[in-house]
């Protein structure tokens, strides 16, 4: 009973770690977005004469898709910019480190899962052997070739192996 709880806790923990690492990896990895096409505006008049104050029709707020430190800034407030011009460069070293850490966690979880599967296969083989031994002792007991105590020992071994195998599954 204790082995079953430990097994379920271990497998549950491994699954949680794998799912968490996958979620972190997906959150950190940049997503491919389809190209954005801007609406076409009519060509402005060749020239305009007048006196007054010029204000922008709308304010554009720029924000990156992921958070990171600003490494370089290529334009200041009020600078004229063109479509497609790079305005800033982000420092993504920390994001790459997070991806590598998540990848390492996934690899570790897969190794633990593989190890647990090997333990289960080993316990299954031991159970099969104990069950075959019990069947042999049953036939030998009927023929009077083994004592009841020897049969009881084989039977207890088979029950123990079965319990260990079932708790590891």
Q: Over 80: is that where the pLDDT of 27 sits?
A: no
Query: Distance between CA atoms of 83 and 69, rounded to whole angstroms?
Result: 23
Please give the pLDDT value at position 118: 92
Task: Annotate 102-167 with DSSP letters as a single string.
Answer: HHHHHHHHHHHHHHHHHHHHHHHHHHHHHHHHHHHHHHHHHTTSS-HHHHHHHHHHHHHHHHHHHH
Please report, for residues 8, 9, 117, the alpha-carbon distance to residue 18 in angstroms, rounded to integers and kept in the order given.
Answer: 15, 14, 16
User: Across the strands, what pairs with 88?
Assistant: 73
User: Tokens 């007054």, residue?
Assistant: 52
Please give the pLDDT value at position 134: 94
pLDDT in tens, 115-139: 999 999 999 999 999 999 999 999 9
Sorted by where each begins, the domain ranges of the chain are: 123-168
């Amino acid at each position: 009973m204790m082995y079953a709880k430990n097994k379920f806790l271990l497998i549950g923990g491994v699954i949680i770690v794998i799912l968490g690492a996958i979620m972190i990896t997906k959150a950190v990895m940049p997503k491919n977005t389809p190209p954005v096409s801007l609406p076409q505006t009519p060509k402005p008049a060749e020239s305009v004469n007048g006196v007054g104050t010029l204000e922008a029709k709308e304010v554009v707020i720029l924000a990156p898709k992921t958070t990171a430190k600003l490494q370089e800034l290529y334009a200041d407030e009020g600078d004229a910019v063109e479509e497609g011009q790079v305005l800033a460069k982000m420092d993504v070293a920390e994001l790459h480190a997070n991806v590598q850490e998540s990848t390492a966690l996934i690899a570790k979880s897969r190794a633990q899962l593989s190890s647990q599967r090997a333990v289960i296969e080993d316990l299954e083989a031991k159970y099969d052997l104990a069950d075959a031994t019990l069947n042999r002792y049953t036939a030998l007991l009927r023929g009077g070739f083994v004592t009841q105590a020897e049969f009881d020992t084989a039977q207890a071994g088979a029950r123990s192996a079965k319990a260990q195998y079932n708790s590891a599954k």
